[in-house]
Amino acid sequence: MNFCRLRFLAVLLVFGVHVGGADNGDVAFDTSYKIIWGNDHVSLLDQGREAQLSLDINSGAGFGSKLQYESGFFNMRIKLANKNTAGVVTAFYLASSGNSQDELDFEFLGNKEGKPIILQTNVFANGKGDREQRVLLWFDPSADFHTYKILWNHRLIAFYVDGIPIRVFKNNTKIGVKYPTKAMEVHVSIFNGDDWATDGGQTKINWTSSPFTARFQGFNVDGCPLSQVSSTNSRNNCYASKYWWNKRKYWNLDRNQIKEYQNVREKYMNYDYCTDKARYPVTPPECASNQYITI
């Protein structure tokens, strides 16, 4: 290696340049996203590196990805509205278009001041949902930004909070459980959910506390875009191991993640459709597999 080459590498190290490619974790909003509704309730700050969505009595707001994806590891940094947010729902989710929808949801259910915001997750496959799980977070999600991620590959769906898995949904098509396979867009929104979100819809939004403003960062998208070729070829490509989230290590949780996951279930889970005998006298077939992972 000659002197010029050494000097070039030294400069890269001094300035913290990532040789393998630029870090895309701090990209501008319009690189991958567009405003879908409530334009006048959306503010872009810090040269597009932060988006703020507001809800008042007139409207909420939402944005979505410019592309559809067929696999990926999707993330968003979120700081929720604070104080009295009863009836306010903030959502980060993946959703397909058309009928018989596939969907993967993070939904933050606001609450009265002094009571915890509830994080609800749900999984829809071919239009079938009703798989709600609710977690009482171990921190105040309105006090600071936290990172929420959704892993979706052909083997596993997992929801993460600050790197900790809080929910798993395995591919159990072999036992007749449908699994999300349709191309999905990434969506973020804040809206009026006071007909169901808080105390079963008994507690309504106090509009004197509005506007309710949630903040979002981290607009890079680690996903495989839907191709213009046939859907089968596109899906097979998006399941390929050339995408890091499809590699074998992401087919299941590792041992440490399993411990973290079980800890969340034991200490913080507030509701699980799998144990709701009033709704499901017979436990849904996927539940045992998703709760007790073996590796």
Sign of CA dihedral 166, 102, 280, 200: positive
Q: Which of 50, 107, 185, 286 is flagged as catalytic?
A: 107
Q: Which of 50, 70, 103, 286 is flagged as catalytic?
A: 103
Q: Would residue 260 show up in a list of annotated catalytic residues for this protein?
A: no
Q: If we measure between CA atoms, which residue out of 89, 90, 255, 283 comes closest to residue 165? A: 255
Contact 156, 150 (CB under 8 A): no
Contact 64, 186 (CB under 8 A): yes
Lookup: tokens for 119: 């994080």
Q: If we measure between CA atoms, which residue out of 58, 118, 60 comes closest to residue 86? A: 118
Beta carbons within 10 angstroms of residue 269's beta carbon = 15
Q: Would residue 107 show up in a list of annotated catalytic residues for this protein?
A: yes
DSSP character string of 40-78: GGEEEETTTTEEEEEE-SS--EEEEESS-EEEEEEEEEE
What does the alpha-carbon distance between residue 273 and residue 4 come to, in Å, rounded to a whole number?
A: 63
DSSP character string of 182-201: S-BEEEEEEEE-TTTSSGGG
Q: For residue 237, what are the contacts with CB-CB under 8 A and spacing of at least 6?
A: 224, 227
Contact 73, 222 (CB under 8 A): yes
Q: Tell me which residues are annotated as active site.
A: 103, 107
